[in-house]
A and B are shown apart, each in its own frame.
Chain A
Amino acid sequence: MIVDREESHFIFVVPKAHVHHGYNYIRHAGKPLTNKEYLQYWGKWVFFGDSEKLSDVARRMDPFVEEKAIPAAKYDREIIDAFQLGECVMCVYCDFRQREDVWDILSTIGVTDKMWVFEKETMERWMPGGHLLEKWIEGRQLSPGEAEKVRADAKRTFEKMFADEDAEFKGVMQ
């Protein structure tokens, strides 16, 4: 189902079971991923477009997400100016070991740009010193003290999230 909440920058495509029954779509071969597996295997196909194009892809993708052939997706409601991309981004999530099956579906619904990004890469970019976190700090014109607090909070959050590598991965706040 398409979850479009105005308060969120992102529009999500997730199984109804996730929304209504807490189903964890971060899994492979029927089993939820551990923190360690998440960092090793979880990632996304990324592509761009205007919000109309991505909404259209989301509608076509929705039945595949419902039947769990595609775990989940999200896309930008509007362009993020700070990243100077000039387009909205869609991320279609899956396990690396499943990515070609997911790509086959995406290519049948009109996706042509093929770019695989491991979640670990994205996380590293949101860690202190990472390109995305520093851009975010710059965009908000934070004072040096506020910026340091944001960096410390990010570091603490990630450390806490992955402290037990064998625990089931519980997701990232969006």
Chain B
Amino acid sequence: MTQNQDIVVRLATVLARHTGNQKELACPVRGGDDLMTLLEDLDGHYAGLKTMICASREEIIDSINVYVNGDNVRYLQGLKTPLKGGDVINIIPAAAAG
């Protein structure tokens, strides 16, 4: 994976209602990105998306799971998890995780 690739965000069907049913979004890398800056960026295009995912600037809503390259960000650095080009982010309702 190179720094030039986009960051890919995949949303579970139920969450894609907030993005006009787009389940996959490609986000350009700006440098120094972390999960929160990416969500703020997306929220500029899809209003309300961030509040659906974040309880605050530090916390993700309990009923939502966010994965970066397969790992739940609660085991990484939460909303401060650094991102790079080529990363794949999955956002799902926690209820879906078994």
- In the bound complex, how far is the Cα of B12 from the Cα of A122, in angstroms? 18
* Range for the number of chain A residues in contact with chain B: 20 to 34
Interface residues of A (CB under 8 A from B): 44-46, 48, 83-87, 89, 91, 103, 113-117, 119, 121-122, 125, 131-132, 135
Top 8 A-B residue pairs of the complex, sorted by shortest distance between their CB atoms:
A114-B70, A86-B13, A83-B95, A122-B98, A117-B97, A115-B67, A86-B14, A85-B96
Interface of B toward A, CB cutoff 8 Å = 10, 12-14, 62-63, 65, 67, 69-72, 88, 90, 92-98
Q: How far is it, in angstroms, between the C-alpha of A113 and the C-alpha of B14 when the chains are bound?
A: 16
Interface class of chain A by DSSP: mixed
Distance (whole angstroms) from the CB of B47 to the closest CB of chain A = 21
Contact status B98-A114, CB under 8 Å: no
**Majority DSSP secondary structure for residues of B touching A:** mixed
Report the separation of the CA atoms of residues A119 and B97 in the bound assembly, to the nearest whole angstrom.
Answer: 9
15 new A-B pairs (CB below 8 Å) besides A114-B70, A114-B88? Answer: A44-B98, A46-B98, A48-B12, A84-B93, A85-B95, A87-B13, A87-B96, A114-B67, A114-B69, A115-B70, A115-B90, A116-B70, A116-B71, A125-B97, A131-B63
A78 to chain B, nearest CB (A): 14
Would you list 7 pairs from A and B whose C-beta atoms are within 8 A, ordered by A residue? Answer: A86-B14, A113-B90, A114-B88, A115-B67, A115-B70, A115-B72, A121-B97
Complex Cα distance, B92 from A91, in Å, reads 14
Task: Indicate which residue in A83, A91, A117, A121 contacts B93 across the interface (CB closer than 8 Å).
Answer: A83
Residues of A within 8 Å of B62, CB to CB, are 131
